[in-house]
Structure 1
Amino acid sequence: MKKIISGLLASAMAFAATSAMAQTKPLKLGAILDMSGLYADITGVGSETAAKMAAEDFGGEVLGRKIEIIAADHLNKADLSANIARDMLDNQGVEAIIDVAASATALAASEIARARNKIIIFNGPGSIRLSNEACGPYTVHYVFDTYAQANVTGLATVKNGLDTWFFLSADYAFGQDLEKDTTAVVTKAGGKVLGSVKHPLNTSDFSSFLLQAQSSKAKVVGLANAGGDTITAIKQAAEFGLTRSGGQKLSPLLAFISDIDSVGLDTAQGLILAEAFYWDLNDETRAFTKRFQERTKRVPTSAQAGVYSSVLHYLKAVKAAGTTDSAPVMKLMKETPINDMFAKNGRIREDGRMVHDMYLFEVKKPSESKGRWDDYKLLATVPAEQAFQPLEASRCPLVKK
């Protein structure tokens, strides 16, 4: 009888343990992305894939919990982004939010995460407000921002004698901040801004804006936009003969490898641009790209590479902290240097800005390229402390001064 009772107890305990394990909730990370609009190639399915790769490379689980990546399309609508963030955090059990491509949608989602003391990591958006006025204790701006893009690109062009500018800017937070930050860099370096014009998001016709840029006689036409808008503007500028016959230089202030691929080297050759990552920088970037390309048939953008890096960094902090609670996890994320294929000696500052080296590239001529995606020549590596806004200039209320 004792043996029977012992056996029954052992079975019951085993069943209870199995049930407890079955009831252990997965650790969910929510990716809020542009899956179908003008930023889909920059983030989209590629960012979701990068996040899943990071989860798999980490081992698929942490603290006994299976890691799940869930993704949603914000359709480039700020109110929808906020609603998605609210649903993810309140109803779907999401522990942290990643990417949130585009600045207006990121700012909206940030408010939701801050109210719930949840970690939110921005990979695709660029507005410097995210680590300034809109910073929070659990906010991380990981890949690039308007200050770094303006600083790396604007300074290089003015130093090379391209000292008069005209801006074509997307009429929302990101475009406004990028124009503002680049203007500050240009004027500080001794250049002049001769004018600017705002264009609607995702416009199909840049003709009137390009005519204004052409009539300004500025040496540089700065494109303070991104994604599909940048692609369309570059293509239509070529049709207008803005660069070849007009002698003006086109400077996309935020361009990705996916944009250059869409435009083609015939049209994009000679463009000067800043990037946080390039697939062909070294053996590590090439190894990651090979695995990423097997799944997506494309090379990763800097935003997508940043998603992979940031998800791994977050998961390592969760494991070390022994919890998903935001405070101890963020403390470890800020204390731990980031050394991977995306960044070397990167670190998250008190304002949430992840600082790392940036790169200045020139787009190759078709004759210089060995094939698709072989698009960039490295002109300079800009150290983190020179690329990003100095901490003492931060407008983040968390920064002690």
Structure 2
Amino acid sequence: MRKALLSAVSLAALAAPAAAQVSDDLVKIGILNDQSGVYADFGGKYSYEAALMAVEDYGGSVLGKKVEVVTADHQNKADIASNIARQWYDTEQVDAIMELTTSSVALAVQALSQEKKKVTITTGAATTELTGKQCSPYGFHWAYDTHALAIGTGGALVEQGGDSWYFLTADYAFGYSLEENTGAVVKEKGGQVLGAVRHPLSTTDFSSFLLQAQASGAKVIGLANAGLDTQNAIKQAGEFGIVQGGQRLAALLFTLAEVHGLGVESAQGLTLTESFYWNRNEESAEFGKRFMERTGAMPNMIHAGTYSAVLSYLKAVEAAGTDETEAVSAKLHELPVEDVFAKGGKVAANGRMISDVYLLEVKKPGESDVPWDYYNVLATIPGDQAYLDPAQSGCPLVTN
């Protein structure tokens, strides 16, 4: 009888639904990015606000447990970022880290998170290495990457006759990746790369680099940088009369925040690629309005991507019935991404979230009387075309 009773209890336990389990009775998300340097407007405090919006829109809790968001400034230094991430994991019970502007930072934190078995969702960094050779079973890449930027901006300019390129490249992982990806697209479309020069992150003097690019005679000078670096390069190119002399500038990673900072007068006519534009439809405009009310700025793809990443993480926790990393990661791969940022988004085996991106052109002054309405949408690039085929990414997690 005792054996029968034990058997009955065991069967009942197996048949009963698993109780929701949340570590420390709290789901804690960290937003780690640059809040004081060249990428402060690119992501920064605005990404933190986007994360807070996502938590509020979700109801402030998941599986009956409160959701908390913390944030810190990594100063674009991989060692500082790793130390913050380690402290968050070891002593502050952070479950997942997101945003991670700056590719060297994102690679370092993703590697640490794999060791600690924690989820990262990168929205601010660009390198395809995050879902390539250095991919992680717990690492995810949202919003954009260097391949999507190369396909969008690089491909469009070659088709418009810009078939010779020279690159000004930020001297770290992001810049190398963006130069490499764009150069490959240029060559695939029949163009040529005449050379490249690398500049330090956060430099204020682009004169020698711009003179080398000007002397190359390339039809297009590709700016493989971002944030204030891109703004400063464009301003100084104007002082040298580079565009007036017949060469074109390609801002390979330029977002709404940088267009606003530079001003439409200086940015007009630039072709660029983003995966979100606030004034594209009614839903995105409503999100933009709510974001503007709390930040004083309209969201770019980093901010909207961070909103989407946080929402998707909470949905995965809900679906898994736990915040345990393996279970949540499985659900992130499984669930579709449907929100204001992405429609019909899907997460590939290498962790790349695949959704549409947009080829955009900065309007001329006076073309719009709506504040922050800076773009004409030239084309929609389907996600499957914008992003690398996971089987070609080099990620060892992908099996053919």
TM-score category, normalised to shorter length = over 0.9
The letter of the residue matching 1:336 is L
User: TM-score with structure 1 length normalisation?
Assistant: 0.93
Aligned residue-pair number: 378
Q: Secondary structure at the match of 1:262?
A: helix
Contact 1:24 1:65 in 2 (8 A): no
Q: Does 1:165 align with 2:165?
A: yes
User: TM-score with structure 2 length normalisation?
Assistant: 0.93
Match of residue 262 from structure 2: 263
Q: Does 1:30 align with 2:57?
A: no
The letter of the residue matching 2:329 is M
Which whole-Å CA distance do the structure 1 matches of 2:316 and 2:351 have between them? Answer: 15
> Structure 1 residues 389-398 or 347-356, which shifts more?
389-398
Which whole-Å CA distance do the structure 2 matches of 1:207 and 1:150 have between them? Answer: 25
Q: Which runs of 5+ in 1 are unaligned?
A: 1-22
Contact 1:261 1:372 in 2 (8 A): no
Q: Which runs of 5+ in 2 are unaligned?
A: 1-22
Alignment of 1:49-64 (within 5 A): 49-64=49-64
> Displacement, 1:24?
5.7
Which whole-Å CA distance do the structure 2 matches of 1:231 and 1:248 have between them? Answer: 17
Which whole-Å CA distance do the structure 2 matches of 1:319 and 1:386 have between them? Answer: 31
**Root mean square deviation, CA, Å:** 1.1
Match of residue 18 from structure 1: none
Match of residue 295 from structure 2: 296
Which whole-Å CA distance do the structure 1 matches of 2:206 and 2:257 have between them? Answer: 20
Match of residue 210 from structure 2: 210
Q: Secondary structure at the match of 1:94?
A: coil
The letter of the residue matching 2:320 is A
The letter of the residue matching 1:206 is F
Match of residue 96 from structure 1: 96
Which whole-Å CA distance do the structure 2 matches of 1:382 and 1:84 have between them? Answer: 37
Q: Secondary structure at the match of 1:120?
A: strand
Which whole-Å CA distance do the structure 2 matches of 1:216 and 1:164 have between them? Answer: 10
The letter of the residue matching 2:101 is A
Which whole-Å CA distance do the structure 2 matches of 1:51 and 1:356 have between them? Answer: 20
Which whole-Å CA distance do the structure 2 matches of 1:187 and 1:24 have between them? Answer: 53
Which whole-Å CA distance do the structure 2 matches of 1:266 and 1:104 have between them? Answer: 33
Which whole-Å CA distance do the structure 2 matches of 1:28 and 1:392 have between them? Answer: 33
Q: Secondary structure at the match of 2:242?
A: coil
The letter of the residue matching 1:162 is G
Contact 2:24 2:93 in 1 (8 A): no
Q: Secondary structure at the match of 1:154?
A: helix
The letter of the residue matching 2:302 is A
Alignment of 1:166-315 (within 5 A): 166-243=166-243, 245-315=244-314
> Displacement, 1:254?
0.4
Q: Secondary structure at the match of 2:25?
A: coil
Match of residue 9 from structure 1: none
> Displacement, 1:25?
3.3
> Displacement, 1:141?
0.4
Match of residue 66 from structure 1: 66
Q: Secondary structure at the match of 1:334?
A: helix
Q: Secondary structure at the match of 2:126?
A: coil
Q: Specify whether residues 239 and 371 from structure 1 end up closer, same or farther in structure 2 by C-alpha distance, changes over 3 A only.
A: farther
Which whole-Å CA distance do the structure 1 matches of 2:342 and 2:370 have between them? Answer: 26
Residue identity over aligned pairs, in percent, reads: 51
> Displacement, 1:301?
1.4
> Displacement, 1:371?
4.0
How big is each residue's C-alpha offset from its partner over 1:136-172, in whole Å with a ceiling of 9 and x where there is no partner?
Answer: 0010000111111011111111111110001000000
Match of residue 150 from structure 1: 150
> Displacement, 1:327?
1.3
> Displacement, 1:62?
1.1
Alignment of 1:362-373 (within 5 A): 362-373=361-372
